[in-house]
Structure formats: structure tokens, C-alpha cells
Amino acid sequence: MVWFSQCGLFQFIEILKAIFLGYIKKHDFKVFGWYRIALGILVILITIVYFIQFIEDTLHFSDIIYTFLELKEVFYSILMIPYFVIS
């Protein structure tokens, strides 16, 4: 059963690689650059808004550390979006 799922995963990865390389042969990396820039701006803006909201509520140092740990959990999934996702 495990062998079957590993083979299926390998085939899926090979198909994704073929699609990605086909796209790269016809286009350039501008889409990926703009994707990373937009994602970075979004993360920075949300972090600033969240931090300002936190400052208004409390100014305890231990709470600041906890807030940044919360931000890490919130944005971890956003930051792990693959480079090859094209909308």
C-alpha cells in the first residue's frame, strides 16, 4: 500500500515538473517575481496592522513576543505557497 502511494506521488511530481518546465520554455520568470513581491507586501502590511492593533491594546514585552509567535503560525502557510502556482 505504501509502495503504491509513493509511486503515485512520484508520478504526480513528474507531471508537475513537466508542466512547469513546459511553461518555463514558453515564458519567463516575471510571474514568479511579481508573485513573490505581492506576497511580501501583503505579509508586511498585515504584520504592521496586527502590530499597531496590538500596541493599542497593551505594551507588555511578554505579550509582544507571544504576538510575533502567533504571526509566525498565521503566515507560515502563506509563505509556503509553491513558486510554481500560477493564477
| pLDDT computed for residue 21 by the predictor | 87
And the C-alpha cell for 55? 500596541
DSSP label at 4?
H
| pLDDT computed for residue 14 by the predictor | 93
Angle between helices 30-57 and 61-79 (to 10 degrees): 160
* Helix, coil or strand: residue 2: helix
For the four alpha carbons of 81, 84, 85 and 87, in that order, the dihedral sign comes to positive
Per-residue pLDDT of the chain (87 residues; tens, 9 = 90+): 556 677 888 899 999 999 988 888 888 878 778 888 999 999 999 999 888 887 777 666 666 666 667 776 666 666 666 554 554
Does the global pTM surpass 0.75? no
